[in-house]
Amino acid sequence: MNLLERIVKEIPPTDRETLRASRERLRNQARPAGSLGLLENVAARLASICGTIDVRLKRKVIVTCAGDHGVCREGVSLFPSDVTRQMVYNFVAGGASINVMARHAGAEVLVADMGVDWDFEPDLPIFHKKVRKGTSNFAEEPAMTYDEAVRSIEAGIEIVDELNQKSPVHLLGTGDMGIGNTSPSSAIIAAFSGLPPSVLTGKGTGLDDEGVKKKAKVIEKALALHRPDPKNPLDVLAKVGGFEIGGIAGLIIGAAHRKIPVVCDGLIATAGALIACELCPDANRYLFSGHRSVEAGHAYMLKHLGQEPLLDLQFRLGEGTGAAMAMELIDMATRILSDIKTFEEVAIADAQS
């Protein structure tokens, strides 16, 4: 049994009794029942994950997984692949969008090289988990081998374990960096949903309408060529995925194994969530969707997962920015559950009594 198989079998259940008690407390708080909408469900789910009504998310971490993509040779992105490694350095230097937004949310940002086409200095403070220097061009051949797909997910699991050796992580955010990676992400939801790429493909880095059509045709060609099996998520990842997408799947599975709630970013991070939850449906209990991206396929991903996004700010950046924004709401949800008094605690008559 490899690491992935073992961890999937060991995912613990969430605490149903704490979930029940949380929902009862929310119903009995001194305000109209259900008046705080989605945050009530977030609060109760967090309590069931952590096993307490008084959840304290002291250490928040966003891991941005990076990788390059052979499909860029098909002209599916406006930016060259060199930008991936340049952005890794920017993340480390603290100058990217995710760094600014994570600081505001009180979260650390750490980067994982899952498959960047570059040799980073061994002492660069990132997770050095490179599977290979970029995927193959899936318009011509599978993006990676089956073993590489497994390795990319196991690397994400290892990152969670390494993070927790420093101190416990209480909330994990998933982000991505990889020029061209909206193409494999759209291909993944197409494989699982059976919907045509023309419906699921978006502008990515800013393609015009003709560019989007061209990208959709590349994805359609790859799906017809490789016929990824939707019942086998590792087959889907290997044939049309990306190393950073596998890494994100591993982060989610590894976090679920350690009972850590995960907040997911946009299209690419949710592609990783799809792989994780198809491999291990119980991982979905630990997952929160940070936002709804404007990328066409993201809404279909969320529907497939049964996830309701916390925000809709018309983002399409990635990096983990949507996860950082949502972390502040998730933090607030913990206080809503614990700190708002019930009718009984403040001796106010309940309208239903």
Domain of residue 176, CATH code: 3.40.50.10210
pLDDT at 205: 81
Mean pLDDT over each residue of the chain, to the nearest integer:
96
Is 210 one of the catalytic residues?
no
Q: Which pLDDT score, from 0 to 100, does residue 347 have?
A: 82
47: pLDDT strictly greater than 70: yes
Domain count along the chain: 2
- One domain for residues 92 and 26: no
pLDDT at 73 over 80: yes
* Torsion from C-alpha of 118, 121, 124, 128, nearest 10 degrees: 60
If asked whether residues 117 and 240 sit together in one domain, one would say: yes
| Same domain (yes/no): 264, 309 | yes
**Catalytic option among 244, 319, 344, 345:** 319
Instruction: Reply yes or no on whether the pLDDT at 163 is more than 80.
Output: yes
259, two tokens: 């009972």
Q: What is the pLDDT of residue 104?
A: 96
| pLDDT value of position 206 | 87
Give me the mean pLDDT over the 138-166 stretch.
97
Tell me: do 103 and 69 sit in the same domain: yes
Q: What is the mean pLDDT of residues 288-312?
A: 97
Cα separation, 61 vs 194, whole angstroms: 34
d(CA 8, CA 92): 31
- Answer yes or no: do 131 and 221 share one domain: yes
Domain presence at residue 13: yes
CATH number of the structural domain spanning residue 11: 1.10.1610.10
Same domain, 199 and 218: yes
- Position 166 pLDDT exceeds 90: no
Domain hosting residue 172, numbered range? 60-330
- Same domain? For 132 and 160 the reply is yes
